Amino acid sequence: MSFTLKQSALTVSNSVFDKRSSITCRSLFLPCLNLQNNPKRTLLSLSKPLYISSFQSFNEKSVILCKAYEADKSPSPAAAEAKSEAAKSVKIGIYFATWWALNVVFNIYNKKVLNAYPYPWLTSTLSLACGSLMMLVSWATKIAEPPKINLEFWKALFPVAVAHTIGHVAATVSMSKVAVSFTHIIKSGEPAFSVIVSRFLLGERFPPAVYLSLVPIIGGCGLAALTEPNFNMTGFMGAMISNLAFVFRNIFSKKGMKGKSVSGMNYYACLSMLSLLILTPFAIAVEGAHMWAAGWKEAVSEIGPQFIWWVAAQSIFYHLYNQVSYMSLDEISPLTFSVGNTMKRISVIVSSIIIFRTPVQPINALGAAIAILGTFLYSQAKA
C-alpha cells in the first residue's frame, strides 16, 4: 500500500482505498487531513517525501500513519573527501607504527642470533628463505592474490635483486661485528651515497640545499665512527657497502619497474625469491654446511632450545617489516617514505642501546644526532 506526497499534491491510489473511506494522516510533521470532504487537490509544503509506516483500521475507518525521511542522505563531496583523507592518514599511521615496531623486533633478534651464531651469510639466507616460503603459502591458499608476471618482469627485477642481496648480506655482516646502533648510524648516511652516485654516474643535478644537507650527514657519521667504543673495520665497511648497494637497488628499481602493475607486497615477495636464488650458492661457498652444523650445535648447547625461536623470529620479522615498508610505499610519496625511514632508524638506535646496554659516549650520541638531522634535512631539500 503506498502513496506519494509531493509539494504539489497528495495522491492516493484508488485501487487500494475506497473513495468513501475516511483517510486520516497522523504524523509529527503534518496535520490530520480529511480527504473525503475536500474534493480539491491539497497543496502541501514538504521538504521531505513521505512513506507509509503502517495501516490500521479503527471502527471501520482506515488510518494511515505517515513518517518523513530524507530522500538523499549522501554526504557532500567536501565531507566525503575529508573522510577519505582522514581514513588514509589513519591507514598510513598504522603502516608506519607497524613498520617501525617490526623493524625494532627484527634487529633485536637478529643481534641475539649473531652474538650466539656468527654466521651472517646463513642468517641472511634464512631470512630470505622464510619470507619466500611465507609468500608461496599465501599465494597457494589465496590469502594473497598471486601477481601476474612474465619473463620480462624477472629480467627487470634481476639487477634489483643483485643489489638487494649485496645490501642485505653487508648489513648483516656489519651487525655481526659491531653494535646495532653503530650500524644504523652509518646506514643513515645512505642519502650521501645516493647523491654521489646520481650525480657522477647518472648526471643528475640537485639544488644547493641538497648538497648542503650532506655536510651534517657525513660529519655526523664520521664523528660517531671515530668515537665508537667498539669500532670494527669489517662492521664499518659492511654498513658502507650496504648503503651503496641499496642506492643501486633503488636506481635499478625505478628503471626496471616503471609501468609494472605489481603491488608492493608481491613485488617484495618476488624480490626475496630471486635474491634467495642468488645468495644461496655464495653462502655455501663462503661459510659452508660443515661450519653451520658445528656452530648450530654449539649455539643450542649454550643457549638452549630458545635459540631456535630466535632464528625463526629474526627470519619472520625481517620479511614482515620489509613487506610492510613496501606496502607503505604504495600509499605515500617517496618524501614521506624517506622521513619515515629516518624515524625508523631513530627507534632502532634508541631501542638497541637500551636493550643491549650499549655504552654511548656523549660525543658519540652527538654525532648520531647530527647525522640523523642531516638525513631529515636531506629529505626536506629533495621535496
pTM (global) more than 0.85? no
Cell numbers 657522477 correspond to: 200
pLDDT computed for residue 24 by the predictor:
43
HSE-up of 286 (CA within 13 Å, CB side)? 15
Least confident among 45-49, 241-245, 351-355: 45-49
Length of the chain in terms of residues written: 383
Assess whether pLDDT exceeds 60 at residue 55: no
Return the CA Rg of the chain.
33
Within 8 A by CB and 6+ apart from 99, the residues are 321, 324, 325, 328, 340, 344
Categorize the per-residue pLDDT at 119 as very low, low, confident or very high, splitting at 50, 70 and 90. Answer: very high
| pLDDT tens-digit series, residues 296-343 | 999 999 999 999 999 999 999 999 998 888 777 767 766 567 677 777
pLDDT computed for residue 303 by the predictor:
93
Assess whether pLDDT exceeds 50 at residue 23: no
Residue 98 bridge partners (DSSP): none
* E strand intervals along the chain: 3-5, 10-12, 24-26, 50-58, 61-68
- Mean pLDDT (whole number) for 18-37: 45
Q: How far apart are the first and last CA of the chain?
A: 63
Task: Take residue 310 and report the three cell numbers written for it.
Answer: 630466535
Assess whether pLDDT exceeds 50 at residue 12: no
Q: Are 70 and 302 in contact (CB under 8 A)?
A: no
3-class secondary-structure state, position 58: strand
